[in-house]
Structure 1
Amino acid sequence: MATLIIVPALSGCAITTATTPLTYQPQKSVAALPDAKNVVVHVVVKNEKKHKRIGRKENGLGMSMASIYAKEPISKTVQDAIQKELVARGFGTGNGGPVILNATVKEFHNTFHIGVIEGEAVARLSMVVAVMTKGGKEVFFKDITATGKTGSMISSGNNAGIAMDRALHAGIKTLFDDPAFMQALFTAGKESQ
């Protein structure tokens, strides 16, 4: 009988739709790059996810329940994250910038995994990023896949949001840690003058 009481309690309002903010925390200890101030990047993000939701709650038996949605559009969240990292490195950002950064989000969602003692929220991000000159010449292309996880006793929107934030941080770090990406921004800037 105790099991019947505990299982529903662990699912935490599984029948109620949740909306959660996604909060990107920029990388720490990033320095402005020489000559980055001469490069202005126009960041365009397109969301090609099939569903508007970012995941589903689960009950204590692992059955999918109510949907979880992001507070802001995924395209805006990813665009803001990329722009924060560009600005931190000294680049300018804005519409009409001669360097175009196109990012297409293919997948960005969370799945809960129920464990014996504790479950886990696992988020997955898949996106492609291209850097282009003002004239339309592609100078960089990268396919990025990243995951984020957090322990989760309850399949809540909050726990999904934490995992999603971690997946986004890992994906953006993968992009900005690539020397070819940074070089492409400068190359596109020179070729667009």
Structure 2
Amino acid sequence: MRNNGHYEKGLSCSFGDKHAADKLVQNIAIGYLAGWDDLADADGLLRKLFETDNTEYISELVTFMGTFRDRDDEKLRRKIKPLWKAIIEKVAPNLEKDEYRIIASNLGKWLSLVDTIDDDVYELLQIFVEAIEENWNSGFFIEYLRRHVIKTPTMVGNLYLKMLNAGTYPDYKKEDIIAIVQALYDLNEKESAIRICNIYFSKGFEFLRETFEKLN
């Protein structure tokens, strides 16, 4: 279909049917994952998608890619980071706009698509963590932070504090938050753990009190 321009023409259309628009984006994403398209290709469909600046397309791309979470697929992981960067380039300058903040929030689920928080992923996460609760995604984000805290406790602690300092104080799931704080204590990130507890206490949340008192 790409050869006869159907997808490219579709990107320039104004769809009355959201389902049709979503399927177009999904097919382009599948082509990228399969290696039929490349972000480096100026004439590639994914590049054309970003050039439209259509937030509905970008939003569907983020949502659709999130459905691949928890897959043990090295090829998928290699594809995620370049795509993540391309989306952030569109989102970061527009974080004051609601539609972009929702996209940023949904990107929090992409933490499940990587096997470790390396320097690149850490930088990407820092850009949008302040908007994580815009679409009620802090619970997912915390769940995935818990999975990464053993490997990268310093980065997880810093990201959690950045989220709190942006005014987001999630309390779901409490067991994930407690586990993160416990791990930070155990992995020589005691200062971050104490700061997390104290911020919660200052906002009237007491569910970390028992853990705090046990570890101090």
TM-score interval (norm. to shorter): under 0.3
Q: Which structure has more helix as a fraction of its residues?
A: 2
Q: Which protein has greater RCO, CA pairs closer than 8 Å, 6+ apart?
A: 1
| TM-score between the two structures when normalised by the length of structure 1 | 0.22
TM-score by length of 2: 0.21
